[in-house]
Chains A and B, each alone.
Chain A
Amino acid sequence: MTDSITVFNRRAVRRHRDRAARGGGEDSDLLFRESAERLLDRLDDVTRSFPLALEFGCRSGEMGKTLRGRSGIDTLVQCDLSEAMAAQAGGMALAADEEALPFTDAVFDLVIGNLSLHWVNDLPGALIQMRRALKPDGLFLAAMFGGDTLIELRQALAEAEIAEEDGLSPRVSPMAEVRDLGGLLQRAGLALPVVDSETLTVMYPDPMALMADLRAMGETNAAVESRKGFTRPATLAAAAARYSDLFATSDGAIPVTFQIITLTGWAPDASQQQPLQPGSATSRLADALDAEEHPLPDKARPT
C-alpha cells in the first residue's frame, strides 16, 4: 500500500523526462514554449531586477535561453529532476528534486518554474522549500497544469477501460484546482498570493498523435496506482475511437484542453503592503460615499 500523500511515482517521472531528453522532440515543445512565453510576459511586467534566479523543472534549457539577461538576471541556476535534461540545459545546472531542494535559505531573488509542479506529490512542502530559498521580497512565479487539462482524454480512457477491462485505474494524473492553490501559497508563507488560470485548446490530427506527443514531452502517466505494465492495445484503440466519437470536428481533428494555472507570490518583507488591523479605520465609509448608514438587523443571527 502506498502512503496517502504519494500520488506520483517520482522515479517514473524521472524516467519519462530522461526519455524525453533523449528524444529531443522540437515539435512536442510547442505547449511548453507557449506557456514559457506567457510566464516571461508576467515577469516582464515586474519592474524589478533579479540578479540571482533559480529555474526549477528547467527541461532542456528552452526557457532558460530567454531568461538569461532578462529582468536583470545575472546568474541563472537551473535544476531538473532529470539528470539528462539538466545536462542539456547548459549554464549553472544541477539535478534536484522539487520535493527536496538542495539550496541554502534566502539566496535567490527569483524562483521560477514552467509546467513541472503537477508531478509533485508534496506540493505544500515544495512551495515551503521554494519560499525558504527566496530572499525577503523575492518573487515566486510558476505555471502548472490544472484540473481541466486533458479532460477529453480522461473521459475517453475511462469509458474505454470500463468497456474493455471491467475496471478503472488512474490514467491521467490528478491535478490541482485553482481554489486550493491560493491557500497553498499562503500556507507556504508567500505574501500577496495570486492564482489565475488560462485554458488553451490545441487541435491534434487524431488521438494517437496526442498520445505520441505526450510521450515525447515526458508527460505520460506516473500515478502510483496506475496499472502495472502497458495499456492494452485494445483499450487504447477503444479510447482513441471514443475520443473521436465524442469530440472530433468535421475534418476528424480532435481538440485537447490544457489548463495552465499561474502562481505568483512574494517572500514576506516589511516593505510590502500590510493589511490594517480590523477596526482601525479613522474615517467612516458612509461619509466618504456621502450616504446614510443603516445598522444591520440582528434577526438573521442563529440563536
Chain B
Amino acid sequence: MSKRTVDPKLLEILVCPLTKGPLRYDSDADELISEQAGLAFPIRDGIPIMLIDEARTVDSDAPSAT
C-alpha cells in the first residue's frame, strides 16, 4: 500500500501554530509534536493538520505515548 509521506522541505518551515515554537517529527506515529504547547498535530496522508482543534494533548514527559 502506498502511503503519501510528508515533504521534508515542508517540515523545515513549520512551527507550532500556538507557541510558534519548534516541532518534533515523530515518524512512527506520523505526528508533529510541540513540546511547549503539549500538543501533537496529526499528519494524514502526507498532509500536516496544523489545527489546534485537531491536535492531541500530550504529556511532555512521555511524548510518544499511544
Chain B, range 12-66, C-beta contacts under 8 Å to A: 13-18, 20, 44-45, 47-54
Q: Does B1 contact A (CB under 8 A)?
A: no
Least distance between B54 CB and chain A CB atoms (Å): 8
Whether A87 contacts B47 by the Cβ 8 Å rule is yes
Q: Are A100 and B18 in contact (CB under 8 A)?
A: yes
A192 contacts partner chain B, Cβ-Cβ < 8 Å? no
What is the bound-complex CA distance between A52 and B61, given in angstroms? 36
| In the complex, number of A-B residue pairs with CB atoms less than 8 Å apart | 56
Bound-state CA distance A46–B51 (Å) is 33
Query: What is the distance, in angstroms, from A253's C-beta to the closest C-beta of chain B?
Result: 40
Stretch at the interface among A102-110, A156-164, A287-295: A102-110
Report chain B residues within 8 Å CB of A176. Answer: none
Q: Which of B7, B9, B51 lies in contact with A96, CB distance below 8 A? A: B51
Check A102–B14 contact: CB distance below 8 A: yes
Query: A99-133, CB under 8 A of B: which get 1 and which 0?
Result: 01111110100000000000000000000000000
Cβ of A95 within 8 Å of any chain B Cβ, yes or no, is yes
Interface residues on B, range: 20 to 34
A87 to B9 Cα, complex, angstroms: 18
A83→B17 contact, CB < 8 A: no
Interface residues of A in 80-99 (CB under 8 A from B): 81, 83, 86-87, 92-97
Q: Is A77 an interface residue (CB 8 A)?
A: yes
Whether B15 lies near A104 (C-beta < 8 A) is yes
Cα A87 to Cα B50 with chains together (Å)? 13
Q: How far is the CA of A173 from the CA of B34 in the complex (A)?
A: 34
The CA-CA distance from A105 to B18 in the complex, in Å, is 14
CB distance from A84 to the nearest CB of B (A): 10
C-alpha gap A93/B14 in the complex (Å): 12
Question: Are B7 and A92 in contact, CB atoms less than 8 angstroms apart?
Answer: yes
Complex contact B49–A94 (CB within 8 A): yes
Q: A92-B9, A92-B10, A94-B10 known; A102 and B49 CB under 8 Å?
A: no
Convert A262-295 into 0s and 1s, putting 1 for each residue whose CB lies closer than 8 angstroms to a CB of B.
0000000000000000000000000000000000
Chain A residues positioned under 8 Å from B54 (CB to CB): 83, 95
List, in ascending order, chain A residues with CB within 8 A of B14's CB.
94, 102-104
A94-B50 in contact given A87-B45, A100-B18 (Cβ < 8 Å):
yes
* Smallest CB separation, B5 vs chain A (Å): 12
B13 and A96: CB pair below 8 A?
no
> Is A155 located at the chain interface by the 8 A CB criterion?
no
CB distance from A91 to the nearest CB of B (A): 9
Q: Contact check: which of B13, B48, B50, B51 meets A107 at CB < 8 Å?
A: B13
The answer to whether B51 touches A95, judged by C-beta atoms less than 8 angstroms apart, is yes
Q: Please list the 10 inter-chain residue pairs (A to B) with the smallest Cβ-Cβ separation, ordered nearest first.
A: A100-B17, A102-B50, A102-B17, A94-B48, A96-B50, A95-B49, A107-B13, A92-B10, A102-B14, A92-B7
17 A-B contacts, Cβ less than 8 Å apart?
A11-B53, A83-B47, A83-B49, A87-B47, A92-B9, A94-B47, A94-B48, A95-B49, A95-B50, A95-B51, A97-B50, A97-B51, A100-B17, A102-B14, A102-B15, A102-B17, A104-B13
B contact set with A: CB distance below 8 Å:
7, 9-10, 13-18, 20, 44-45, 47-54
